[in-house]
Amino acid sequence: MEENTDLEFKSTNGCMHACGHDGHMAMVLEIAKYTKESNYNVLLLFQPGEEKPGGAKPIIDTQFFKQFNIAAIYGTHIYPELEKGKVYTRPNEMMAGGCEFEILVKGKASHAAQPQNGINALTACVEILQKSLEQEEKAFDNNTFHLLHFGTFHSGQAFNIIADQAHVRGSIRYYDPKVFDQIVNIIEQNTNNAIKKYKVQVNFKVNHHYPPVLNNEELFHTLYKNNLV
């Protein structure tokens, strides 16, 4: 996105990622300065991306950690809405797991005046979305975190032509893996119902799935007892 600031460290080409990664860099560099002046033996890791693919897994897959005797790992993130100058954390659930998914519905094009000759992928896809959202909202109580979001919807080529395909992308977020499985089952059931009802073809695929961040209770209490949080 375009950066409309006059900050000293603003982008040199007018574009910004706007995801806080400059803040992440600043935090780790400050930790580096602090540890250099202390007696602590600390290994600093700059995670190579958090999406497509990213996170801890690419680092682990390199066997990098086998070179060092690592006692514990602490990760940091930015929450702009929290008070500046403080560190916040909690035991167990910290950040939700998430995935990107897509649904591709294929039908058959025909003129809108002759719907009997076509298979309306747009109508079938809309029904999948509506029913999935309604059922997902009712499936969990108020104490269970769950999120089903549809972010993009592309379908059809002209106003008077039956759409031969519809493509949707969305995301699921959760703490409990059973919640994720239940949401996926809801979508799959509705895609199967649409296949039977509308005679469409449906491809439902989950991409770039990341599990939730669950903080180690022992490490949390180590910080807490030392008044670091």
Render pLDDT for 112-158 as a digit per residue (tens, 0 to 9): 999 999 999 999 999 999 999 999 999 999 999 999 999 999 999 99
Name the average pLDDT for the chain.
Answer: 90
Per-residue pLDDT at 136: 97
pLDDT digits 0-9 by tens, 76-86? 888 888 898 88
In the predicted structure, residue 195 carries a pLDDT above the cut 90 = yes
Contacts 24+ apart (CB under 8 A), 142-150: 144/176, 144/179, 145/93, 145/96, 145/173, 145/174, 145/175, 145/176, 145/179, 146/173, 146/174, 146/179, 146/183, 147/96, 147/171, 147/172, 147/173, 147/174, 148/172, 148/183, 148/186, 148/187, 149/173
Three-state secondary-structure class, residue 206: strand
Is the pLDDT confidence value at 44 over 90?
no
Q: Which residue has the higher pLDDT, 123 or 10?
A: 123
The pLDDT value recorded for residue 50 is 63
CATH number, domain 96-210 = 3.30.70.360
Q: What percent of the chain has pLDDT over 90?
A: 54
Domain boundaries, the chain: 21-88, 96-210
Burial of 191 (0-12, 13-18, 19+ CB in 10 A): buried
Contact at 8 Å (CB) between 122 and 165? no
Judged against a pLDDT cut of 80, whether residue 66 lies above it is answered with yes
Residue 177's pLDDT band, with cuts at 50, 70 and 90, is: very high
Amino acid 198: pLDDT: 97
101: enclosing H helix or E strand? strand 97-106
Q: Over range 23-37, report the average pLDDT.
A: 86
